[in-house]
Amino acid sequence: MSGHDHGDHGLSRRKVLECMTWAGTGVLWTITGGVPRSLGIIDSAQAATAAAPGMTFLQISDSHVGFDKPANPNALGTLEEAVNKINAMPAKPSFMIHTGDITHLSKAAEFDNADRIISQSKLDVHYVPGEHDFLDEEVKFYRERYGRGTKGAGWYSFDAGGVHFIGLVNVVDLKAGGLGNLGAEQLSWLEDDLRGKSKSTPVVLFAHIPLWTVYPEWGWGTEDGGRALEYVKGFGSVTVLNGHIHQVMQKVEGNVTFHTARSTAFPQPAPGAASSPGPMKVEDAKLRSMLGVASINFKQNEQRLAIIDTPLQG
Amino acid sequence: MKTLNRRDFSVDFGLTLAAAILLPVTTAHADDTNMEVHIDNFVFQPPELKIKVGTTVTWTNRDDIPHTVVSAGKFRSKTLDTDDKFTFTFTNAGDYKYFCSLHPHMTGMIKVE
């Protein structure tokens, strides 16, 4: 963290954006007083972990195992680095969420490699698929591995630490010209799933593509995401986690907090900052210096958000 | 990192689109039985192609990210990794709207006369 250490307070927004760089490791969340709160990305969250009351869980995303292009010739290696960081944490999180694009081309060997590395964390992992996990002809590899006990294309819910977690799938039946898609069947399941739940139950929704409209020109949003958000409107605390866009983005809207995780594989440009959302390439020699960690300080009841990024190596 | 702002991008895209619509008319001759569409930066290029019945169109993915070429009920490519190709021969006249089923904001059109 030398050379590029920007400190942790009093960072200007501009500076923060300048050093929003590369792949991340994972975001650590804690449930305090029944409300999920981000402790930041692994490294910076470590000190907080030991002291954190209540349950903690992790999010990682977009591992793209099998990706071998110049933007990162070794996506499996950077996933392993992320898992090593998880294993080095002073206190184990209760479980992990993976918000999709585990693989790059849905090949059996890619799923095998991802499993081999991720299982080294010895954490329960709750997955949702990204579009890169549904590329095999019969769309069976993902479902056979991760789809047990799920509905439809792989959606499900579970309870942990007093929080109701809902994994959604918005990467199937995509329509020409459209965005991510949940579909009528999943939405009606969601409505049923939430029916009868106390409005004071904290809810965490997680899906691959953002449920909120980040940048429709690049397909970064979910066509019927608004319907899902309507069902959780009355709940006191709602957290929406996603991947897909390979960069940190956070938004608060009423009682809903949206958070996008980084990729463990390669960065993508900020919306509109390039001619396409394709992988951002950096020089080989610079690759490691652009590996970064980010901590997201989210203060309850404050609209201002601080995103603090620190590279792994200067 | 910021090489192109959004306005530049939109203007460029608009011009490219306009040029591409005109282009096939001047390049497609009656004896053209093979036509090419490239995928670059998440865009089908040209986005619209006018061809004669019997023409074979070849799509080539030149991105680092996989794409597909899908026209509902008409044709569907396998997932195209970098430099993979998909070909389809158009034996019937009509308008064939197609898209990438992974990135549905990517759309294209083949007009077969």
Taking phi over 0 as left and psi of -120 to 50 as alpha, with beta for the rest, A40 belongs to left
Q: Looking at this predicted complex, what is its ipTM?
A: 0.77
pLDDT at A93: 86
CA angle, A271 then A309 then A121, to 5°:
100
Q: What pLDDT sits at residue A274?
A: 87
| Chain A with chain B: Cβ pairs closer than 8 A | 76
Nearby residues of B106 by Cβ (< 8 Å), 6 or more positions away: B39, B42, B43, B44, B67, B99, B100
Which stretches of chain B drop beneath a pLDDT of 50?
1-21, 23-30
Chain A CB within 8 Å of residue B95 CB: no
pLDDT < 70: residue spans in chain A: 1-24, 32-34, 43-54, 282-314
Q: Are A27 and A65 in contact (CB under 8 A)?
A: no
pTM: 0.80
Q: Determine the Cα–Cα distance for residues A287 and A282; give it in Å rounded to an integer.
A: 6
Cβ of A286 under 8 Å from any chain B Cβ? Answer: no
* Inter-chain residue contact A176 with B104, CB threshold 8 Å: yes
Which pairing describes strands A95-98 and A55-60: parallel, antiparallel, or unpaired? parallel
Number of Cβ within 10 Å of residue A55's Cβ equals 17
Residues with Cβ within 8 Å of A84's Cβ and at least 6 positions away in sequence, in order, are none
Angle at the Cα of A117 from the Cα atoms of A154 and A170, rounded to 5 degrees: 25
For residue B63, the one-letter residue type is: D
**What pLDDT does A22 receive?**
46
Q: Determine the length of chain B.
A: 113
At A113 the pLDDT is: 98
Chain B CA closest to residue A274: B4
Give a three-class secondary structure readout of A200-250. Answer: CCCEEEECCCCCCCCEHHHCECECCHHHHHHHHCCCCCEEEEECCCCCCEE
Q: Residues of B with CB below 8 A from A219's CB?
A: 103-105
Q: How far apart are CA A57 and CA A271, in angstroms?
A: 28
A268 interaction partners in chain B (CB closer than 8 Å): none
pLDDT, residue A45, reads 65
Q: What residues of B are in contact with residue A278 (Cβ under 8 Å)?
A: 41-42, 63-65
Using CA atoms, how far apart are residues A284 and A25, in angstroms rounded to an integer?
20
Residues of B in contact with A215 (CB under 8 A): none
By the 8 A CB rule, do A126 and A96 touch? yes
Q: Which residues pair with A38 in a beta bridge?
A: A29
Q: What six digits make up the tokens of B38?
A: 């490239």
Burial class of residue A309, CB neighbours in 10 A (0-12, 13-18, 19+): buried
